[in-house]
Amino acid sequence: MIAELGLALLWMAAALACLSLVAGSLYLRSGKGDLAALVRPASVAQGVLTAAAFAMLIALFVRSDMSVELVARNSHSLKPMLFKVAGAWGNHEGSMLLWLTILGLSGALVAIFEKRLREDTLVATLAAQAALSLGFFAFLLFSSNPFKRLPIAPPDGQGLNPLLQDPGLAFHPPTLYVGYVGLSVAFSFAVGALITREIGPAFARAMRPWVLGSWIFLTLGITAGSYWAYYELGWGGWWFWDPVENVSLIPWLAGAALLHSVSVTATRNALRAWTVMLAVVAFSMSMVGTFIVRSGLLTSVHSFAVDPERGTFLLALMAIYIGGALTLFALRASSVAEGKKFALLSREGSLVINNLLLTTILALVLLGTLYPIVAEAMGEKISVGPPYYNKVAGPLALILCLVMVAGPLLAWRKDDGRKLWSRLPAAILAGSAVLFGLILFGGKVGVLPLLGMTVAGIVAVASLAPLWGRNLRRTPLPTWGMVIAHFGVAVALAGMAAESAFIKERLVAAAPGETVTVDDFTVKFVGVRPIAGPNYTAVEGTLIATTPSGHSFTLRPEARTFPGLMGGAPTETNEAALLTRPGGQLYAVLGQPVTGADGRADRYQLRLWWKPLVWWIWLGGALIAIGAALSLLGRAQLLALWHSHRARKAEGRYA
C-alpha cells in the first residue's frame, strides 16, 4: 500500500500546485484579495505532501520492497542500511522526486516566513514557484513514476553502482540539489518582481538569504564531490573538468556573482536589472546542468541514468521556464531604472568587475562543456580537456582574486585610489615574500602556480584587513562571514597552486618487503591479504610510511571487487589510502598484480603520490561555506536582533 499512497500524495500535491498557480494568476489579474489568501496555505500543503511522498519512497527502499520497479532496479536486500536509504535518490526517478520535494519545501518556507515583500509580489513569487513544480510533477507522473509496481516481484534487486556506494556520495546529490533548488526560489523571486515591477532593496533583501543558503550548499556539494573523486576514483586528482563537475560549477559561479550583486541592490539600490538577470541565469544553469547529465547529451566518466526520451520532456520544460523568464526580463527590465549612480573606483565598481569576471569564467566553462555538441553538429568530434579550462579560467580567477583584495577595502559610491594603496602595504609585503621565497628556494615552478601562490599570500593578508582596527566583538556577522570566506579562497588557492607545483609521483611494481621512496617518505610494502566487505571482496595492501624524523604510519589501500549485477561482469574500485600530514597528503593506491617471467603474480603495482598542501583545497572550500553561513546567520532577522541586543549590552558594560 505504501507505493499507492505515495503516488496518491504526489497527485494531491500536483493538484495543489495547480491551485496555487491558477489562484495566484487570477489574483494578479483582478486584484481580488480572497484569491490571494488561498496561495500561501496551498503552497505550504503542497510542500508537505511532496515531502510525505518522498518519505514513502524511502520507506519502500528501507523495506526492500522488490515489487516496486525502482527498488528492484536500484537496491538489494543485502545492502547496508545507509545505501538502502541513499538508493532512494541514487537513480533518475528518485532524484527527480527529491528535486520536487526540495522545490515544494522551499515554496512552503517562503510562504510561511517571507514578510518583507509586498503581497502581490509574494503571490507572484509563489505562483512562479508553483509553475516550476507543476512542470516537474508532470514529468514525474507522466514519464517517470517512481512508485510503479512490477507485475512479478523478483527475488532480489540489482544493487547500486559500486562507485556510488560511498557514504560521501550518498549525501552528495541531496546537498547539490538543495543548492540547485534553492536557486529556484531566487528565480521565482525574480519572476515575481518582474511581474509586479517591484525591484528594489526590499526585493533584494528577501532574495539574499536564499541565494546565500543555496550557495552554501553548492559550495559544500562541490567541495565534497571533489574530495570524493579524489579518494574514491583512485586517480589522485581533485578536479577533472568533467561535464558533470562543470555543470555543478557553473551554477556556483552564477550564484557567486548573484551573491555579490544582490548585496549591491540591497545596500545601494543599484544593479537592479543585472541582479534579476543573474537570478534567472543561476537557476537556468542548474536546470541546464541537470538536463545535460540526465539526457545523455554529453558522455561523462560518471555514470548516471541516461534517457533521450526524458531529455526531450525536460528540454521542453526548460524552454518554457527559461524562455519565459528571459522574455519577461527583456520586456520589463528596461522599465527598471538602474538605480543609484556610483564611481568606478568604489565598492560597487569592484563588485561590477567581480561580476563581469565571474560571468566571463562561467561563459568560458559553459562554452568548453557544450563545445563538443556544437562541434559535432558541424561534423567534428572534439573533446575539450583540462588544458583549455586551466588556460582560460586560471588567469581570470587570479585577476578575480586581486579584485577581491581591493573590493572590501573600498568605500561605497566613491573612493580615492591613493587611499586604497595606503590600505594595502601588509598584503603586498606578504605577496612579495611568497614570490621571492619561491623564486629563491622553490626550484622550478610553473608561472601559473607561482602566481597562484603569490596571489594567495596577498589575498590571505588582505582578506583580514576589514577587521583591522575594529572592535571584533561588535563587528557584524556578515563582515566576519566575508572575511572568513575570502580567507578560504586564499587557502584553497594556495592548496591548488602548491599541489600542482610540487607534486611527487612514484609508480612501481613492488614485491612484499620492498621499499620505495617518495619525496621525504620511505614506504615499505609489507604485503597483501584478502578481506571481505558486506557486499564486496577486496585485496588489502599494507604499507608502512616512515618520515625522516622516524615516525611510522600504516596505510591500507584496497582494491575492491563487487560481484556483477544480473550476471554481468564484476566491477572493481580502488580505495586509496591517505596519510594526512601538516604539509600535505601521502596518497597510496594498490593496483593490479604483476605477473613475473615465471608466470607467478608476486608483485603489485603501487602508485604513490606526495601532494603538498592538497588538503588546503577542501579546507578552503569549507571556510568559504562557513563564511557564507555566518553571513546568512547575520542576515536572518532574529539573529540580527539578538546580536544588536548583545552589542548594546556589551556597549553598556564597556562604555
Q: Among residues 384 and 625, whose Cβ is nearest to other proteins?
A: 384
Of 233, 297, 420, 428, the one binding other proteins (CB under 8 A) is: 297
User: Least distance from C-beta 323 to other proteins, angstroms?
Assistant: 6
Is the Cα dihedral 190, 193, 197, 202 positive or negative? negative
Determine the Cα–Cα distance for residues 484 and 505; give it in Å rounded to an integer.
Answer: 33
Determine the Cα–Cα distance for residues 645 and 450; give it in Å rounded to an integer.
Answer: 47
The closest of 358, 617, 580, 627 to 490, measured between CA atoms, is 617
Rg (C-alpha) for the chain, rounded Å, is 27
Number of residues that bind other proteins (CB under 8 A): 39
Of 5, 48, 333, 619, the one binding other proteins (CB under 8 A) is: 333
DSSP 588: E
User: Least distance from C-beta 262 to other proteins, angstroms?
Assistant: 18
Q: Among residues 542 and 605, whose Cβ is nearest to other proteins?
A: 605
- The grid coordinates of residue 216 equal 552554501
Q: Among residues 197 and 470, whose Cβ is nearest to other proteins?
A: 197
From first CA to last CA, the distance across the chain in angstroms is: 67
Q: Among residues 237 and 296, whose Cβ is nearest to other proteins?
A: 296
Of 106, 144, 248, 284, the one binding other proteins (CB under 8 A) is: 284
Q: Which long-range contacts (CB under 8 A, 24 or more apart) does 57-64 make?
A: 57/6, 57/88, 57/94, 57/97, 57/146, 57/147, 58/85, 58/88, 59/2, 60/2, 60/3, 60/6, 60/88, 60/147, 61/85, 61/87, 61/88, 63/2, 64/157
Of 1, 152, 377, 472, the one binding other proteins (CB under 8 A) is: 377
Q: Among residues 296 and 466, whose Cβ is nearest to other proteins?
A: 296
Q: What number of helices (H) and strands (E) belong to the chain?
A: 19, 10
The closest of 540, 536, 537, 547 to 580, measured between CA atoms, is 547
Contact characters 300-319, other proteins, x per CB under 8 A: --------x--xx--x--xx
User: Least distance from C-beta 195 to other proteins, angstroms?
Assistant: 16
Q: Among residues 329 and 609, whose Cβ is nearest to other proteins?
A: 329
When asked if residue 525 is in the footprint of other proteins (CB under 8 A), the reply is no
With contact defined as beta carbons under 8 Å apart, do 240 and 230 qualify? Answer: no
- The grid coordinates of residue 436 equal 621571492
Give 108-120 as a 3 state SS string. HHHHHHCCCCCHH
Q: Among residues 50 and 265, whose Cβ is nearest to other proteins?
A: 265
Of 218, 253, 281, 438, the one binding other proteins (CB under 8 A) is: 281
User: Least distance from C-beta 100 to other proteins, angstroms?
Assistant: 22
User: Least distance from C-beta 297 to other proteins, angstroms?
Assistant: 6
User: Least distance from C-beta 516 to other proteins, angstroms?
Assistant: 22
Distance of CA 41 to the CA centre of its chain: 31
Q: How many residues does the chain have?
A: 655
When asked if residue 323 is in the footprint of other proteins (CB under 8 A), the reply is yes
User: Least distance from C-beta 568 to other proteins, angstroms?
Assistant: 7
Of 1, 440, 472, 569, the one binding other proteins (CB under 8 A) is: 569
Of 78, 82, 112, 331, the one binding other proteins (CB under 8 A) is: 331
Of 395, 437, 570, 596, the one binding other proteins (CB under 8 A) is: 570
Q: Among residues 319 and 467, whose Cβ is nearest to other proteins?
A: 319
Of 568, 653, 654, 655, the one binding other proteins (CB under 8 A) is: 568
With contact defined as beta carbons under 8 Å apart, do 147 and 58 qualify? Answer: no
When asked if residue 50 is in the footprint of other proteins (CB under 8 A), the reply is no
Q: Among residues 168 and 311, whose Cβ is nearest to other proteins?
A: 311
With contact defined as beta carbons under 8 Å apart, do 464 and 489 qualify? Answer: no
DSSP 148: P
User: Least distance from C-beta 564 to other proteins, angstroms?
Assistant: 6
User: Least distance from C-beta 280 to other proteins, angstroms?
Assistant: 8
When asked if residue 277 is in the footprint of other proteins (CB under 8 A), the reply is yes
Stretch that binds other proteins, among 88-96, 211-219, 243-251, 374-382 (CB under 8 A): 374-382
DSSP 584: E
Determine the Cα–Cα distance for residues 367 and 373; give it in Å rounded to an integer.
Answer: 10
A 10 A CB-CB count for 554 gives 12
Determine the Cα–Cα distance for residues 328 and 319; give it in Å rounded to an integer.
Answer: 13
User: Least distance from C-beta 284 to other proteins, angstroms?
Assistant: 8
Q: Among residues 156 and 309, whose Cβ is nearest to other proteins?
A: 309
Of 115, 334, 447, 597, the one binding other proteins (CB under 8 A) is: 334
With contact defined as beta carbons under 8 Å apart, do 157 and 71 qualify? Answer: yes
Q: Among residues 323 and 425, whose Cβ is nearest to other proteins?
A: 323
User: Least distance from C-beta 295 to other proteins, angstroms?
Assistant: 7
Give the strand pairing for 571-575 and 537-546.
Answer: unpaired
- The grid coordinates of residue 223 equal 567541495
Distance of CA 325 to the CA centre of its chain: 24
When asked if residue 374 is in the footprint of other proteins (CB under 8 A), the reply is yes
Interface residues with other proteins (CB under 8 A) are 273, 277, 280-281, 284, 288, 291, 295-297, 299, 308, 311-312, 315, 318-319, 322-323, 326-327, 329-331, 333-335, 370, 373-374, 376-377, 564, 567-570, 592, 599
